[in-house]
C-alpha cells in the first residue's frame, strides 16, 4: 500500500466495527514509519495474533508490535490513562519494547472515574448498548469545555478546577438517574497527580510531529476504531459512538490537513456483525446465527459480548465507500464462510413497499427494512492456505467479485485466518509481481 504516491494511509472500519482492522494495521505497519490512532478510546479492542500469542490492544496502535515503528495517540482520542499504563505493562511483560516509541497528544482529553460512573448508571447508555468505559461522558465534557486534557496535568490548580466542574456535572446526572453514587473530587485529583509523572513524558504535539513526518516523506498509517456505521454523524444514530469514525475524522483526530491524506482503506468482514442495540437489516437468526458466531469467534475483544451476525450488506458498505472516499477494500474472515452451503449478499432493502439501494438515515426505516438478497453457492472447502487470488475456490472468487462491483471499491486484501501470514495481499490481487 505504501509507495511513491501513497505515504499517508487511513484505515477505517466500513461496517459496525470489529471488522479486523487490527490485523490489517499490523500487516501494513511493517512498512510504516508511524502508526497513529485518531479517535475513540478504550471501548475499542483490536486483536492481533502473532504465532501462538494474541495481543488485544485497546488504545495503543497496533503498530507497536513492529520494532522500530513509532506510535501515537491523537487528540481525537479520549484517553483512559489508567488503562493505558496497564496495556503498556502487559506489552512489556510479553517482550514488546515500548520505550521511546509511544507518544500521546497533549491535546487528548482524559477519561476520568466519574465518566465511567455516569456511563454505568445511565439508562441511555444501557439502551444504546455502550461498553460502559466512560467514552460518551468524556466526549460530552470535551464539547461542554470542562474536559481535562493531558497538557492540563502540568497545571495542578487548573486540574482541580476542571475536575470540580466535571464532578459537579456528573453528580447532577447521577442524582437525576436516582443513583446514590457520587464522584469524589479529591480522589480524582489524587489519581491524576499519581499518573501525571508517567503520562507527561509521553505527551507532545502529535499533529506537528506527524505533519513533519509527512513532509519528510515518512510512511504514516492512521488507525481508526469502531466502524463507519457507528459514526456520530453518519452512523445509525442514536445507536452510535461519540466520535467521528470515518476518514474525515482522521485529519481532525490527528491534527493534520485533509489534503495530507493519500488513500483510505476500508476493512469489512465477508459477512456483517454488530455489538449492542440498533438496526442490523441482514441479521441471522436461530442455528445459523449461532453457527456463524461460533465459526467466527464473534465475541467482543473489549467486553466479551456476543456479536450479532448477518449476511454481507452491500448497501452499508457502498455507503461507507462514499462517506469515507474509500480507495480500496480489505475483506476479512472469508474463511468463516468455508463450510456454508449457500451464502447471501444483500443488494437493497424493501421498506413499506419501496426499494432502497442507498443507505437511509432514518433508523425507524432501517428497523422495518426487509433485505433483498442475491444467493451464492458456497465453496465448501478451506481457504485458510490461500495466498494468491487463484488459490481461492471459483465460488469464493465469484462472491468477492460481486462484492467489489456492488460496493464500488476495489478489493486489495483478503484475509483467510487470524495469523499474520493468512492474507492475500494487494500484489496478488492485482496480479503484479
Residue-wise pLDDT for 356-396, tens only, equals: 999 999 999 999 999 999 999 999 999 999 999 999 999 99
Binding residues: 17-23, 43-47, 131, 145, 226, 241, 301-307, 333-335, 415-417
Q: What is the pLDDT of residue 23?
A: 87
Q: What is the pLDDT of residue 130?
A: 64
Q: What is the pLDDT of residue 433?
A: 28
User: Is residue 133 within 8 Å of 111, Cβ to Cβ?
Assistant: yes
pLDDT exceeds cutoff 50 at 310: yes
Average pLDDT over residues 294-319: 90
pLDDT exceeds cutoff 70 at 7: yes
Q: Return the CATH superfamily for domain 8-106+205-430.
A: Adenylosuccinate Synthetase, subunit A, domain 1 (3.40.440.10)
Q: What is the pLDDT of residue 129?
A: 57
Binding residues for GTP: 17-23, 45-47, 307, 333-335, 415-417
- CATH 1.10.300.10 in the chain is located at 109-202
Average pLDDT over residues 195-223: 97
More confidently predicted of 424 and 276: 424
Residue-wise pLDDT for 98-120, tens only, equals: 999 999 999 999 999 999 999 98
- CATH 3.40.440.10 in the chain is located at 8-106+205-430
Q: Which residues are catalytic?
A: 18, 46, 142
Angle CA 180–183–186, to nearest 5 = 135
pLDDT exceeds cutoff 50 at 431: no
pLDDT exceeds cutoff 60 at 177: yes
pLDDT exceeds cutoff 70 at 51: no
pLDDT exceeds cutoff 90 at 405: yes
Average pLDDT over residues 62-79: 94
pLDDT exceeds cutoff 80 at 208: yes
* Poorest-pLDDT segment among 17-31, 149-163, 256-270, 358-372: 17-31
CATH code: domain 109-202 is 1.10.300.10
Residue-wise pLDDT for 117-176, tens only, equals: 999 888 666 666 566 789 999 999 999 999 999 999 999 999 999 999 999 999 999 999
User: pLDDT band at 212, cuts 50/70/90?
Assistant: very high
Q: What is the mean pLDDT of the chain?
A: 92
Average pLDDT over residues 53-65: 85
Q: State the burial class of residue 218 (Cβ atoms within 10 Å of its Cβ: 0-12, 13-18, 19+).
A: middle
Residues in Cβ contact with 310 at an 8 Å cutoff, skipping those fewer than 6 apart: 271, 272, 273, 274, 280, 281, 282, 283, 284
Q: What is the pLDDT of residue 1?
A: 75
Q: What is the pLDDT of residue 5?
A: 85
Residues in Cβ contact with 95 at an 8 Å cutoff, skipping those fewer than 6 apart: none
Q: What is the pLDDT of residue 299?
A: 86
Q: What is the pLDDT of residue 432?
A: 36
Q: What is the pLDDT of residue 145?
A: 96
- What is the rounded CA–CA span in Å between residue 102 and residue 109? 17
Q: What is the pLDDT of residue 55?
A: 76
Amino acid at each position: 500500500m505504501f509507495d511513491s504516491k501513497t505515504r499517508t494511509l487511513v484505515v477505517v472500519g466500513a461496517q459496525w466495527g470489529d471488522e479486523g482492522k487490527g490485523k490489517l494495521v499490523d500487516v501494513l505497519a511493517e512498512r510504516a514509519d508511524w502508526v497513529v490512532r485518531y479517535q475513540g478510546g478504550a471501548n475499542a479492542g483490536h486483536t492481533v495474533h502473532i504465532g501462538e500469542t494474541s495481543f488485544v490492544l485497546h488504545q495503543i496502535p497496533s503498530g507497536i508490535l513492529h520494532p522500530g515503528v513509532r506510535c501515537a495517540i491523537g487528540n481525537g482520542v479520549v484517553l483512559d490513562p489508567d488503562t493505558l499504563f496497564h496495556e503498556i505493562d502487559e506489552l512489556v511483560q510479553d517482550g514488546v519494547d515500548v520505550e521511546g516509541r509511544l507518544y500521546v497528544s497533549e491535546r487528548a482529553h482524559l477519561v476520568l472515574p466519574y465518566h465511567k460512573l455516569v456511563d454505568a448508571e445511565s439508562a441511555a447508555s444501557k439502551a444504546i448498548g455502550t461498553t460502559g468505559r466512560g467514552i460518551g461522558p468524556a466526549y460530552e465534557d470535551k464539547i461542554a469545555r470542562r474536559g481535562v486534557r493531558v497538557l492540563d496535568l502540568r497545571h495542578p490548580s487548573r486540574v482541580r478546577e476542571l475536575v470540580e466542574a466535571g464532578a459537579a456535572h456528573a453528580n447532577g446526572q447521577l442524582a437525576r438517574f436516582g443513583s446514590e453514587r457520587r464522584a469524589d473530587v479529591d480522589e480524582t485529583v489524587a489519581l491524576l497527580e499519581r499518573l501525571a509523572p508517567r503520562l507527561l513524558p509521553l505527551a507532545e504535539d502529535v499533529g506537528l510531529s506527524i505533519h513533519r513526518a509527512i513532509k519528510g516523506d515518512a510512511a504514516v498509517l492512521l488507525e481508526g476504531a469502531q466502524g463507519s456505521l457507528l459514526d456520530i454523524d453518519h452512523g445509525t444514530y442514536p445507536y452510535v459512538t461519540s466520535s467521528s469514525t470515518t476518514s474525515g475524522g482522521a485529519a481532525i483526530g490527528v491534527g493534520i490537513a485533509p489534503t495530507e491524506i493519500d488513500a483510505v482503506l476500508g476493512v469489512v468482514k465477508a459477512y456483517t456483525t454488530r455489538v449492542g442495540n440498533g438496526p442490523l437489516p441482514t441479521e441471522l437468526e436461530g442455528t445459523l446465527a449461532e453457527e456463524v458466531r461460533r465459526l467466527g469467534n464473534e465475541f467482543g475483544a473489549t467486553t466479551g459480548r456476543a456479536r450479532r451476525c448477518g449476511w454481507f450488506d452491500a448497501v452499508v458498505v457502498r455507503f461507507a465507500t462514499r462517506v469515507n472516499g474509500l480507495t480500496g477494500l480489505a475483506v476479512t474472515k472469508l474463511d468463516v464462510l468455508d463450510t456454508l452451503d449457500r451464502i447471501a449478499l444483500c443488494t437493497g432493502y424493501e421498506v413499506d413497499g419501496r426499494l432502497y439501494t442507498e443507505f437511509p438515515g432514518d433508523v425507524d426505516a432501517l428497523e422495518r427494512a426487509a433485505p433483498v438478497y442475491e444467493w451464492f453457492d458456497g465453496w465448501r472447502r478451506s481457504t485458510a492456505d490461500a495466498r494468491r487470488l487463484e488459490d481461492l475456490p471459483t465460488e469464493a472468487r465469484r462472491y468477492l467479485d460481486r462484492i467489489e462491483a456492488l460496493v464500488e471499491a476495489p478489493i486489495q486484501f483478503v484475509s483467510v485466518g487470524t495469523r499474520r501470514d493468512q492474507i492475500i495481499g494487494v500484489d496478488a490481487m492485482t496480479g503484479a509481481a
